[in-house]
Amino acid sequence: MSANQARAIAATEEWFRLLVESVKDYAIFILDTNGHVTTWNTGAERIKGYTAAEIVGKHFSTFYPQEDVAAGKCERELEVAAREGRFEDEDWRVRKDGSRFWANVVITPLWSQAGDLIGFAKVTRDLSERRQAEENLRALAAAEHAASAEKSRIHQFQERFLAILGHDLLSPLASIDIGASILRMQSDDPVIVQVADRMRASSLRMARMVEQILDFTRTRLGGGLALAVAPMDLREALTPIVNEVRMAHPSATVQLRCPELRGAWDRDRLQQVFSNLIGNALVHGDPAKPVTVTAGSDAHRVWVDVHNEGPHIPQELHSALFTPFRGSQRESNSPKTAGLGLGLYISNEVVLGHGGQIEIRSNAAEGTTFRVALPREAVGS
């Protein structure tokens, strides 16, 4: 080897040494064949806490927990590195002050030109922050999962409780209704008659609320709303509902325009839908203007429009109208109709069960229209 080549090699080795010593984020050092530290860089001092004077000449087991040392982990790591050309591991390591840190360790064997093992290069990286972040994410995910499971459990308990409560309330309400009817028939006293009528009206209103609770729990507990689909004329279902609403609101005007429209639907359920929509239109519309109920059809479907004039429903509220227990412009804002806020939700579930949909058009100039669109035959009929 010439003098120039020797100087070049020496310069290269010096540059490499300076590079290794300047690295602060990695502990980079050399072990002899028995595992004793022979070099030490700035990164090793920063991560492990030892100065070069304190650690050079000591065995690298100094950095391992006592249980790992006792189990022979250090010897196995050197054996694997020498046999396979590389060893890598992530596990706990120990600093000078006794604290532990999570480390990524890579051990590489060093061979002479003659093929003899002369030592090992060891690179250690402190991954404590990454591990802590991962543990925090796992803990957060576990907490969110537990919270979600608890919320689901409470939600199911509430809905089952409502179902049981609703069912158990129907019997006493029926008794109140029957008692009020008997009282009314057997008395000529106008005060008693008035009280009996109020009792019947209240019991019927409570019965409707209980039925809404039962319908709600059926939909939320997966049972769905049962439909008794049969051939019928939609006009024959709409007419008695409109007449009932007219009797309940004698000062209001309700106009019905409906030709004969035959199909296969659940008559009772659709009457429940139209009773709710027409009642809401009367309560929230302009009392000086009529509520119109208009039906039409084409070859594949029929529709019924319930229209009122008055304050319109802002577009941003449309998506929330059919949410259960939510007050809206269409429900629960008037003392006349104060209730559970389930009417529109159940109406929508009934229409969806038929394979149809409820559409809303509302603006200040034209008022509000709820359109119930149904296929000629209910889905699954």
Question: How does DSSP classify residue 30?
Answer: E
Q: Which residues does 125 contact at the CB level (< 8 Å), separation at least 6?
A: 25, 26, 27, 103, 104, 105
The domains of the chain are located at 3-126, 133-220, 230-375
Task: Say what the pLDDT of residue 198 is.
Answer: 79
Task: Say what the pLDDT of residue 369 is.
Answer: 95
Task: Say what the pLDDT of residue 159 is.
Answer: 67
* Domain 3-126, architecture per CATH: 2-Layer Sandwich (3.30)
Task: Say what the pLDDT of residue 324 is.
Answer: 76
Number of H helices and E strands in the chain, helices first, is 10, 11
Which strands make up the sheet holding 291-297, listed edge to edge? 254-257, 291-297, 301-308, 367-375, 357-363
* Domain 133-220, architecture per CATH: Orthogonal Bundle (1.10)
Q: Which residues does 284 contact at the CB level (< 8 Å), separation at least 6?
A: 308, 310, 311, 329, 330, 333, 334, 368
CATH numeric code, 230-375: 3.30.565.10
* pLDDT tens across the length of the chain (381 residues): 555 544 544 444 444 454 445 556 789 999 999 999 999 988 899 999 999 999 999 999 999 999 999 999 999 999 999 999 999 999 999 999 999 999 999 999 999 989 999 999 999 999 998 888 888 888 888 888 888 888 777 777 766 666 666 666 766 777 787 888 888 888 888 888 888 877 877 777 677 667 777 777 767 666 567 788 999 999 999 998 898 888 878 889 999 999 999 999 999 889 989 988 998 899 888 999 999 999 999 888 999 999 999 888 888 888 788 887 664 444 433 434 445 567 888 899 899 989 999 999 999 889 999 999 999 887 655
Cα(217)–Cα(214) distance, integer angstroms = 5
Task: Say what the pLDDT of residue 187 is.
Answer: 81
